[in-house]
Copies of this chain bind each other. A is one copy, B any other.
């Protein structure tokens, strides 16, 4: 893993010596009345771009890169395009659909396997503990319970720590960042995939308060990215057809489909999966992609059904009916009157407040623990062990407070059929309601809470304890332990518990079922933390199989999202920021209207001549970490300096490796020269893989030769004039998925390019660092939000204690 010192995505090159200080002076003079009088230009120009060039992946600092979604138009690739016939296009289309099919099948299979493993491992644990409890061996039961939890969690924490740090955590923030154009290394490798799968199974089985839905999104995306690598030279999987996929645009589509497939596989919600990918993961979308993602999730649904049918014959161990999350709670009619609306609205408000508070607390805990987790694997294991023991004690200790109740008509767990109501310390034919919530997998617990006609099955005090435990343990689990697991299911569970509480508090004032309140509670808490609307709505409907809930779910989501949005952003965005991933928002902040692009460009620019000395190229590549260089044609080749285009570091490295194109003198290569180069040699390698300049060997003799960069230069880069506002440039940058945006001067008498914008130049931290006086308005808003939240929480606590 690289350290912060090796950062190579600086992309804001120091100005080349040839563009003299006079040019800069002239440029300053030419600037039409600067929008900002207060910003000292000189200060700005000197400021280095020190922010957001590294991200915390897993718990390590890693250099990050941007993805190239731009159509690179150089002679080599243009010739390749023109040579593609009908057959090539058909091959491409056929392959892309085949890849989607593969992704669907693989994601479905992995989703099923995860469930099967969790049900069997956790199930075996609960059965053993139940048997011991029945035999009154309480202490032995506790040691077995705590011991197995500890072992599972230690394993789940150890493998990401020592094998692939990128596999830790939810994975959704990384996928979201990738789809926004941020390529953190190792996020989509085979190693990460395997660690994620194994780690999730162990972590979820360890009674930690975590879920398996989020990691499935990462797993799906990982499958998509690996399928779309365009083959692998390492594993000798190369094929001429695959080279069409050697670009980030196609890979982005496949990753989107993979993420949708992951949601579909985790929650058995094919339509919900598409919408989740669309609403909260993807930054670019087009109608053709909806159709492709829909196909992928349909394949997932078919795969899941086929595999479930195989297990329906009872040869999958403890994997029963409840393996996948299927809370089919069809009611004949959901009759609700106007009088039922106030509690539903109340649920929405509670969800909003609790959700935003959850986000705040989660970020605080994550931040505090990242300091410990960064110090190496051993400390991470210790921390995880402490949490595991603490949680085991809670889960085993708290149910002793709950009284025993008779199993009248309801399904009590037996050793043969776990997942029902547990009897814990109670005599036979009795059950402990709190233990029934704790000594089951999350899926079984949620199914119990959602159950209709179960108003009298739970005591108010038990649900209250369950809610408090769920809220606190959820934050503790995700915040402290750095293992692969997710937030979606625990959030649903917490929401369901306080939903039931509200239902109980209403008593006979409402004729809605408590199970229905639990469903609405889940929706409100999801709305309050994740802030998704349509996708959560559809996912809840697909999970509960009850469309008549729709209006109430919509209402609850609207309210909880509105309330929570007043305080802070959604949980995944907060984690994104914490990890330092430079995510580009889709809207411009108001202060960006007050800045022009030239207000944020820092550092001098490094450019190449159209025909450049090899030694010069190697030197600049070695001494800078920039990923693109403007190519300028100067007087011998044109009448005045002209911006020819932009050449990528990756293409320069390919060129240097091949050597063929070196010329003895400074002259333009012949027209056919581009033909010596195959387009696949310029193809973009898979996520996280990059050539290094250190691997290129150039002899001293070759260093003195020249190379014609024209055929390898993107001759139509996107440019903006220096007077464009930052807000307008952001829209262009974000909508087009750019990596580099050249700034050209207004006047044609000056140097043909005055700077280059990259993703980092649009980050709030950087802009506010350059223009500190803009901070005022931003802080005022944040302060207002925080104080309101604090005041509200205080009021809630007072109300609860009274």
CB-based contact B725/A736 at 8 Å: no
- Our pick among B33, B279, B295, B298 for the contact of A287 (Cβ within 8 Å) is B279
Interface membership of A639, Cβ < 8 A? yes
Given contacts A285-B285, A551-B302, A724-B73, contact A534 B271 (CB under 8 A): yes
Given contacts A558-B294, A716-B725, contact A551 B78 (CB under 8 A): no
Interface membership of A226, Cβ < 8 A? no
CB-based contact A298/B555 at 8 Å: yes
Who on chain B is nearest to A719 by CB?
B719
CB-based contact B716/A640 at 8 Å: no
Interface membership of A239, Cβ < 8 A? no
Given contacts A279-B287, A534-B274, contact A35 B82 (CB under 8 A): yes
- Smallest distance from the beta carbon of A145 to chain B beta carbons, Å? 37
Q: Per-residue CB proximity of A259-279 to B under 8 Å, as 1/0?
A: 000000000001100110011
Interface membership of A286, Cβ < 8 A? yes
Given contacts A288-B586, A291-B533, contact A554 B301 (CB under 8 A): yes
Q: Per-residue CB proximity of A82-101 to B under 8 Å, as 1/0?
A: 10101001000000000000
Interface membership of A720, Cβ < 8 A? yes
- Smallest distance from the beta carbon of A584 to chain B beta carbons, Å? 12
Interface membership of A12, Cβ < 8 A? no
CB-based contact B542/A547 at 8 Å: yes
- Smallest distance from the beta carbon of A157 to chain B beta carbons, Å? 34
The answer for the CA separation of A114 and B593 in the assembled complex, in Å, is 45
Interface of A is mostly: helix
Interface membership of A723, Cβ < 8 A? yes
Q: Per-residue CB proximity of A533-549 to B under 8 Å, as 1/0?
A: 11001100110011110
User: Using Cβ atoms and an 8 Å threshold, which residues of chain B touch A624?
Assistant: none
Interface membership of A38, Cβ < 8 A? no
User: Using Cβ atoms and an 8 Å threshold, which residues of chain B touch A590?
Assistant: 84, 89
CB-based contact A594/B82 at 8 Å: yes
Given contacts A715-B723, A721-B716, contact A554 B747 (CB under 8 A): no
The answer for the CA separation of A641 and B749 in the assembled complex, in Å, is 9
Given contacts A89-B590, A280-B287, A534-B274, contact A640 B747 (CB under 8 A): yes
Interface membership of A718, Cβ < 8 A? yes
Interface membership of A71, Cβ < 8 A? yes
Who on chain B is nearest to A752 by CB?
B748
Interface membership of A728, Cβ < 8 A? yes
Given contacts A270-B554, A294-B558, A716-B721, contact A71 B727 (CB under 8 A): yes
The answer for the CA separation of A586 and B332 in the assembled complex, in Å, is 44
A/B interface sample: 27 pairs, CB < 8 A: A33-B671, A71-B725, A71-B728, A73-B725, A73-B728, A81-B594, A82-B593, A82-B594, A271-B538, A279-B287, A286-B586, A290-B534, A291-B561, A294-B534, A295-B558, A298-B555, A302-B551, A542-B550, A546-B547, A639-B747, A640-B749, A643-B746, A715-B721, A716-B725, A719-B719, A732-B736, A748-B748
Interface residues of A (CB under 8 A from B): 32-33, 35, 71, 73, 78, 81-82, 84, 86, 89, 270-271, 274-275, 278-280, 285-288, 290-291, 294-295, 298, 301-302, 305, 330, 332, 533-534, 537-538, 541-542, 545-548, 550-551, 554-555, 558, 561, 586-587, 590, 593-594, 638-644, 671, 715-716, 718-721, 723-725, 727-728, 731-732, 735-736, 746-749, 752, 777
Known contacts A270-B554, A286-B586, A305-B551; 6 additional CB pairs below 8 A are A73-B725, A278-B290, A288-B587, A301-B551, A541-B547, A644-B746
